[in-house]
């Protein structure tokens, strides 16, 4: 995939909808992030046992729902009944896990961009990449197209086969020796790296490779200023009430 001639995404991206202000990866979080002026969102997408794409960060259900166990072992009918808001605060009690289709509809209706992190359970990378990419390609009606990212090369490989027109980004905690080969092989347009991995050297190298540069999770003023000075294209933040999008 060729990089965009002009990067079509906003610099500031709301982490999991609204950072920590609302229960992460819920429609309530997207609505709150939008109310704070954000027009691009990052979210985590995985699959239920019966192949429904929905939003959830963890492999297990305990941290952000009233369920228990591995999410991959539950059907969507079971997952749809869970409370995904009470863990955060009482006003959000009863908030549900959203389907990817609901989030795509929200972003299309509100003219927002989206970064979908492919977050497969162990052993489910290829099914996740295939299913999520194909659904986005069928369902998305806005512009620009969602940016798919993942730490799992197998998920990005499967996504590329299912929907080659969707842009892809490699997620990195640190820059390994083979990051150039990996991004080239996967047809990536960008690298999304942990904020401290970005230095003048890595920013220069990624730019020289023709790739865009994004950082997670940027919550500190000084760090934001440093990354902007390095020329980063995207900053993913929890602090949607602090940084002006």
Mind telling me the catalytic residues?
15, 57
Residues contacting 149, CB < 8 A, separation 6+: 115, 116, 117, 118, 168, 169, 170, 171, 190, 192
**Which residue from 146, 169, 164 is spatially nearest to 53, judged by alpha carbons?**
146
For residue 141, the tally of other CB atoms under 10 A from its CB is 9
Radius of gyration of the chain (CA): 17
β-pairing, 40-47 with 113-118?
parallel
Contact (Cβ atoms closer than 8 angstroms) between residue 155 and residue 128: yes
Cα gap 133→72, rounded to integer Å:
18
**Which residue from 118, 107, 120 is spatially nearest to 9, judged by alpha carbons?**
107
For residue 62, the tally of other CB atoms under 10 A from its CB is 11
């Amino acid at each position: 995939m060729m990089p965009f001639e002009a990067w079509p995404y906003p610099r500031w991206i709301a982490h999991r909808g609204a950072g920590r202000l609302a229960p992460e990866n819920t429609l309530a979080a997207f609505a709150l992030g939008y109310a704070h002026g954000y027009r691009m969102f990052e979210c985590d997408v995985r699959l239920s046992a019966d192949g429904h794409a929905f939003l959830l960060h963890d492999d297990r259900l305990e941290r952000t729902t009233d369920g228990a166990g591995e999410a991959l072992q539950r059907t969507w009918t079971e997952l749809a009944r869970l409370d995904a808001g009470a863990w955060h605060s009482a006003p959000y009690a009863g908030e549900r896990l959203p389907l990817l289709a609901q989030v795509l509809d929200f972003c299309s209706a509100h003219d927002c961009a989206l970064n979908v992190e492919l977050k497969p359970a162990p052993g489910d990378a290829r099914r996740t990449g295939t299913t999520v990419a194909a659904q986005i390609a069928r369902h998305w009606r806005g512009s620009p197209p969602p940016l798919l990212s993942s730490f799992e090369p197998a998920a990005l490989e499967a996504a590329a086969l299912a929907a080659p027109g969707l842009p892809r980004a490699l997620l990195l905690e640190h820059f390994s020796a083979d990051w150039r080969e990996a991004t080239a092989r996967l047809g990536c347009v960008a690298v999304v790296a942990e904020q401290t991995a970005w230095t003048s050297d890595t920013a220069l190298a990624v730019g020289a490779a023709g790739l865009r540069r994004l950082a997670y999770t940027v919550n500190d003023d000084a760090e934001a200023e440093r990354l902007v000075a390095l020329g980063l294209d995207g900053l993913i933040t929890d602090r949607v009430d602090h940084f002006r999008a």
